[in-house]
Structure 1
Amino acid sequence: MPNRKNVPACSRFLYRYRNLVERFFSKLKLFRAIVTRYENHAEYDLALIKLASAKIWMRFMSR
């Protein structure tokens, strides 16, 4: 709102990267094993997230 008295502090630099992070998490949620959490240990969950992140990154770099 242009006539707002107390304008909240917002870094435009950080806000740009917020969009990238949100899009990354939406891509990460496409992997079924991560969303359904079949694994019982935190180490396995972290390994799945790392594998999915690497796959997303490789897909991005191959363009």
Structure 2
Amino acid sequence: MEEIGSRPRRGRAAARRIRQGFPDTWEFIGGIGSVTDQIGNAVVPAVGQAMGSDWRCCRR
């Protein structure tokens, strides 16, 4: 973590991993705006799994 003032700041890889569940090895393609959109529009894997399980249950 990077130190900014008196508060530590997480790097981009840590922020992606913590907020959206992306592995540190995930590679984003495009400019800053495109990458920001990709991260912001992503569904956290645990949420996606829960939604899929509920959908599958309701379809039976």
* TM-score after normalising by structure 1: 0.31
* TM-score after normalising by structure 2: 0.32
Could you say which structure has the higher strand fraction? 2
Could you say which structure has the higher helix fraction? 1
